Amino acid sequence: MEKRDENISAMCKPSIGEAGRTGDWRTLRPVIDQTRCIPSVKKKSACFLCWLYCPEGVVKAAIPVEIDLDYCKGCGICAEECPAKAIQMVREDQSDE
Ligand code: SF4
Ligand code: SF4
């Protein structure tokens, strides 16, 4: 009998563009405060929980951390998970970036 792979789950790997470009329906966008973001403050690769948890795979684990807003869906998970509270979800109609 074939051995069952216990590691198989219903999860899929996030990847940029999996659900296409976001378009104009997003109501909130993440804005990173680099003065609080751990890699920027410490000037070294650290934390990157936003990269880890983003379901769209649109966070670049770099210094500084970057978010590809063309594909970001505005779910706010990155802001929820950020231990430094460095990400604010800003209303699209109040954002001038
Ligand atoms: S989770 Fe927050 S502190 Fe950590 S890398 Fe992302 S924005 Fe920076
Ligand atoms: S708001 Fe959601 S989709 Fe956009 S960067 Fe954060 S976790 Fe990813």
Domains for the chain: give ranges and CATH numbers. Answer: 28-94 (3.30.70.20)
pLDDT (tens digit per residue) in 50-60 = 999 999 999 99
Token pair in block for residue 75:
């779910």
User: Under DSSP, is residue 49 helix (H, G, I), strand (E, B) or coil?
Assistant: helix
Do the Cβ atoms of 14 and 54 come closer than 8 Å? yes
Do the Cβ atoms of 60 and 72 come closer than 8 Å? no
Q: Enter the pTM of the model.
A: 0.84
Token pair in block for residue 86:
């460095």
pLDDT (tens digit per residue) in 18-65 = 677 888 889 999 999 999 999 999 999 999 999 999 999 999 999 999
Do the Cβ atoms of 67 and 58 come closer than 8 Å? yes
CB-ligand 2 contact for 14 (6 Å cutoff): no
**What distance in angstroms lies between residue 1's CA and the mean position of ligand 1's atoms?**
46
